[in-house]
Amino acid sequence: MTRLTPGFAAPVLDAQASFRVILEAMSRPGRLQRIEARITPPAPLCTAAAAALLSLADADTPLWLDAGEAVAEWLRFHCGAPITQEISAARFALACGTAPSLEALDVGTDEDPQLGATLILQVAGLVASEGWRLTGPGIQHEHRLRVHGAPAEFTAAWARNHTLFPRGVDVLLCAGDSIAALPRSVTIAEG
């Protein structure tokens, strides 16, 4: 048995503050937001991804992850999310290594598009003002975002995901304590 590190230092306040940051990220796609919560997740989990899962996941949201047993144990303890081996059954998917294909995730149904999964994708870095050109709801003209460590085929997979709207997968990009959201309604074009 591994020794668990603490979750949020102030569980209620940190969860509320992190949830507000995630909402801000979803309403302003591609804009970098910063998680302020003090948290020490097990490796390889970064602060932003850990805070997102502690704020969003619970006993009713199956979680798929590739981060190893220490992270799975930590998340089971702190948020109670059941871990699933079947990515298509996950409400949340955490990718710390190679990202799964968006097509493997649940996209919801026409009747219940809100059941589409959210991919929490850890990347090497996020830089505003360069890279991808994002357009869509929540973006006045266009927003730029460079994602270091995104899969090479990500923009093509995203284009296919976008055609499913209102069904589809949402993505939270996480690097260190920074987070940026890609709701399924956003269009991505190469820089």
pLDDT in tens, the chain (191 residues): 457 888 999 999 999 999 999 999 999 999 999 999 989 999 999 999 999 999 999 999 999 999 999 999 999 999 999 999 999 999 999 999 999 999 999 999 999 999 999 999 999 999 998 999 999 999 999 999 999 999 999 999 999 999 999 999 999 999 999 999 999 999 999 87
Do the strands 178-182 and 143-148 form a parallel or antiparallel pair, or are they unpaired?
A: unpaired
pLDDT computed for residue 27 by the predictor: 97
pLDDT computed for residue 38 by the predictor: 87
pLDDT computed for residue 144 by the predictor: 96
pLDDT computed for residue 77 by the predictor: 94
Q: Which run of H or of E encompasses 170?
A: strand 170-175
Q: Which of 20, 21, 71, 14 is nearest to 38 (CA)?
A: 14
CB burial readout 70-99, b (16+ within 10 A) else e: bbbebbbebbebbbbeebeebbbbbbbeeb
pLDDT computed for residue 2 by the predictor: 57
pLDDT computed for residue 44 by the predictor: 96
3-state secondary structure of 114: helix
pLDDT computed for residue 103 by the predictor: 96
